[in-house]
């Protein structure tokens, strides 16, 4: 996927689905980029974040421990052998680490499967965003799409988005997860309003020409077609599905179909197995 190409409308959040094999049982993944990561330096964990509890509308969880390079290469190989495209997410403890990780994965034998690289910059300031993205840009193929993952709640969201674009980001992911202290987050449908506020702020800033607007991906609280449409109306060009897939993995195809102009125009019939198309369900 190249910078400037039309952005796919639906993405899968790398932290929420750490093993795409589960998803593949419910439908083909040809229409989405399979998440690989977050990839971290040193020894990663197994990818899945510990969940501390659940409550109305969300789950309280740790930061995903991340995959190490060896595991990430394995996952990329899994994608390559199935002819699937991957979204590689990278996270680093130093400004240069995400670039090193992304570079290694893009240059490796399975590099052709990398459709885009997402860099986790939640909580960073604008200078850090610029430095990190610029390094990642240098280490990855020239036109590869880079996404900057920012928090809707970071103090200078617009400044960080501007810096990320200056560093080479072709899209910005606005994450609605609420920080609950170091390494802890609240995610789920209840964060939809947080995510929408971030998307709105960027849309408004774009109108005022306070940043050179690139497509915005809304990541937070999207759990069905109406919630996806709601955030698109605020100015996002795409949505990212995360913990909603834990509740129901088939939401992925429901949202893909629901946002697909061909399905909307009636040239494709939406899938019959999701609540949006199953009014008889009573629970």
Partner 1 sequence: MTGDGPAGPVRTGVVTLARPAGAFDVLSLAVPAGPDWATARPGQFLVVPGNPGRGDALPGLHWLADVSVDPVHGTAVEVAVRAGGGWDVGHRLRLIGPLGRGFGVPTDPVPALVVGHGGSTVPLRWLVARLRARGCPVHVVLSADDPDEHFEVASLRRLAASVRLTAEPDLGRVATQVLEQEPRTGVVYAAGPRATVAQVARAAVAAGRPVRVSALDLAEPVLCGTGLCGQCDLDVSNSAGGRSLRPCLEGPVVPGEQVLDAPR
- The site for partner 1 (CB under 8 A) is made up of 16-19, 21-23, 25-28, 30-31, 46-51, 53-59, 188-190, 223-224, 227, 243-250, 252-254, 256-257, 260, 263, 268-275, 278, 280-283
What does the block give as tokens for 195?
């995510």
Q: Which helix (H) or strand (E) holds 255?
A: helix 251-259
Of 134 and 263, CB closest to partner 1: 263
What does the block give as tokens for 264?
């909307």
Give the list of residues 6+ apart from residue 228 with CB closer than 8 angstroms, or none: 10, 222, 239, 255, 258, 259
- What is the closest distance, in whole angstroms, from the C-beta atom of residue 222 to partner 1 in the complex? 9
Of 38 and 159, CB closest to partner 1: 38
As a whole number of angstroms, the distance between CA 136 and CA 144 comes to: 10
Q: Is 250 helix (H, G, I), strand (E, B) or coil?
A: coil
Of 107 and 278, CB closest to partner 1: 278
- What is the closest distance, in whole angstroms, from the C-beta atom of residue 247 to partner 1 in the complex? 3
β 171-175/34-39 pair status: unpaired
Of 156 and 248, CB closest to partner 1: 248
- What is the closest distance, in whole angstroms, from the C-beta atom of residue 197 to partner 1 in the complex? 19
Of 84 and 157, CB closest to partner 1: 84
Contact 91, 35 (CB under 8 A): no
- What is the closest distance, in whole angstroms, from the C-beta atom of residue 22 to partner 1 in the complex? 2
Contact 173, 150 (CB under 8 A): yes
What does the block give as tokens for 213?
């607007």
- What is the closest distance, in whole angstroms, from the C-beta atom of residue 234 to partner 1 in the complex? 18
């Amino acid at each position: 996927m190249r910078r400037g190409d039309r952005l796919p409308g639906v993405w899968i959040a790398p932290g929420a689905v750490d093993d795409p094999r589960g998803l593949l049982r419910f439908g083909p993944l040809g229409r989405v980029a399979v998440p690989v990561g977050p990839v971290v330096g040193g020894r990663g964990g197994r990818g899945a974040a510990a969940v501390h509890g659940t409550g109305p509308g969300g789950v309280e969880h740790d930061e995903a421990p991340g995959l190490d390079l060896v595991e990430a290469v394995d996952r990329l190989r899994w994608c390559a052998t199935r002819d699937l495209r991957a979204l590689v997410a990278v996270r680093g403890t130093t400004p240069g680490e995400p670039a090193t990780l992304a570079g290694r994965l893009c240059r490796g034998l399975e590099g052709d499967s990398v459709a885009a690289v997402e860099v986790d910059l939640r909580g960073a300031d604008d200078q850090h965003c610029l430095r990190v993205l610029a390094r990642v840009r240098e280490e990855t193929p020239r036109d590869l799409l880079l996404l900057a993952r920012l928090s809707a709640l970071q103090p200078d969201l617009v400044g960080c988005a501007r810096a990320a674009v200056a560093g080479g980001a072709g899209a910005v992911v606005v994450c609605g997860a609420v920080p609950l202290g170091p390494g802890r987050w609240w995610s789920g449908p209840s964060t939809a309003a947080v995510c929408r506020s971030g998307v709105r702020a960027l849309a408004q800033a774009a109108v005022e020409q306070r940043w050179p607007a690139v497509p915005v991906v809304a990541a937070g609280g999207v759990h069905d077609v109406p919630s996806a449409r709601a955030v698109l109306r605020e100015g996002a060009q795409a949505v990212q599905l995360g913990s909603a897939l834990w509740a129901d993995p088939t939401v992925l195809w429901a949202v893909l179909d629901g946002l697909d102009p061909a399905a909307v125009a009636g040239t494709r019939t939406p899938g019959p197995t999701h609540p949006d198309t199953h009014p008889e369900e009573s629970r």
